[in-house]
Structure 1
Amino acid sequence: MNSKPDAQSTCPIERSLAFLGDSWTMLILRDANAGVTRFDQFKKNLGIAPTILTKRLATLTDERLLEKKLYSERPPREEYVLTDAGRDFLPVLFMIAAWGQKHRGGGRLTRFLDAENGTELKPAAIDTVTGFELGTRPIRIVVPE
């Protein structure tokens, strides 16, 4: 495997990490899934430098996880709204959170609750073909020829 993620790789993990492998990108997606849409909100929530935020938002827009929508014509102002691809990333974020609670826990941690019934989320990745939880059985990686 290469030391730097490659967007042209045959591995979907490597392709995804080519633009997602940065923590700021994932934190922007976390906040977008929580309803943050405006540049200043992202900047305030994340404590991120404006230049870095501008670059990450451009990448997420180019990669079609976010799209710009005009919310004010005078002066012209845009917000960043999740696309289907951006919403599809939410389960990935919760799987990272579950791993972090298990292996990087301790102290005070943010909890994620179901908004309707108040129960804490306990995400698990299940193979829909076999019904088995991922990580409980060996896998085989098949590289295309």
Structure 2
Amino acid sequence: MQRKKLTHVECPIARSLDQVGEWWSILLMRDALHGLRRFDAFSQSLGIAPNMLTRRLNALVEAGMLERVPYSQRPLRYEYVPTTKGEDFASVLMAFVDWGNRHYAAEGESVQVVDRDTGKRLQLAFTDPEDGRVLAPEQCTVQPGPAASDAMRERLGRKHARPALTT
């Protein structure tokens, strides 16, 4: 059965999931952003079947998240290097770390997001681009953007008990 494509859905969450929502893809991006580049390194890290790894890497290249760069001519072999779009995915992965630590780390945190220079633990927040104010995610909501359809405006116009991402 063919999986439904979400690339033409208006919701940015759905569009993003269409590109990287498969869990192997997210784990491959995690490893690529952590410095892994070669097929064998991904295979060893994830224990993924070679045919599945090939499909996922090709899909991430097609999505513009990774770039295939030859590192050997005989035999021809490639490295998979994060693109600018792929590097931007780091913030999504760090949000997963933050959320996963709060909800699925009963035994304690095995991974933390920290300041690279000081080693101090960080928490997820958003910054107002005009005045620099820092807001916690619970202080944020979504609203229709300039390109929103009438259906999206109506969906986001509904009042909820707690502001949430309901695109």
Query: TM-score, normalization: structure 1?
Result: 0.85
Report the Cα offset of residue 22 of structure 1.
1.1
Report the Cα offset of residue 138 of structure 1.
4.3
Q: Aligned ranges for residues 1-145 of structure 1 at < 5 Å?
A: 6-112=6-112, 113-128=114-129, 131=133, 132-141=135-144, 143-145=148-150
CA gap of 1:129–1:48, structure 2 versus 1, over 3 A, is: farther
For the Cα contact (< 8 Å) 1:43–1:49, is it kept in 2?
Answer: yes
- Taking only aligned residues, the RMSD between alpha carbons, in angstroms, comes to 2.1
Post-superposition Cα deviations, 1:59-88, rounded to whole Å, max 9, x if no partner, equal: 100011000001111221111001000000
Report the Cα offset of residue 118 of structure 1.
2.8
**Once the two structures are aligned, what percentage of the paired residues are identical?**
37
Greater Cα shift, 59-68 or 121-130: 121-130
For the Cα contact (< 8 Å) 2:65–2:85, is it kept in 1?
Answer: yes
For the Cα contact (< 8 Å) 2:70–2:78, is it kept in 1?
Answer: yes
Post-superposition Cα deviations, 1:27-58, rounded to whole Å, max 9, x if no partner, equal: 00000000000011001101111111111100
Report the Cα offset of residue 19 of structure 1.
2.2
- Counterpart residue identity of residue 41, structure 1: A
For the Cα contact (< 8 Å) 2:97–2:111, is it kept in 1?
Answer: no
- Whole-angstrom distance in 2 between the partners of 1:98 and 1:72: 38
- Whole-angstrom distance in 2 between the partners of 1:137 and 1:87: 24
What 5-or-longer segments of structure 2 have no aligned partner?
A: 151-167
Post-superposition Cα deviations, 1:99-144, rounded to whole Å, max 9, x if no partner, equal: 0000111125422344433333433344535733332244434642
Count of residues paired in the alignment: 142
Post-superposition Cα deviations, 1:4-36, rounded to whole Å, max 9, x if no partner, equal: 561101111111111211111110000000000
What 5-or-longer segments of structure 1 have no aligned partner?
A: none
- Counterpart residue identity of residue 144, structure 1: S
- Whole-angstrom distance in 1 between the partners of 2:137 and 2:144: 14
Query: TM-score, normalization: structure 2?
Result: 0.75
Q: Which has the higher contact order (CA 8 A, sep 6+)?
A: 1
Larger radius of gyration: 2
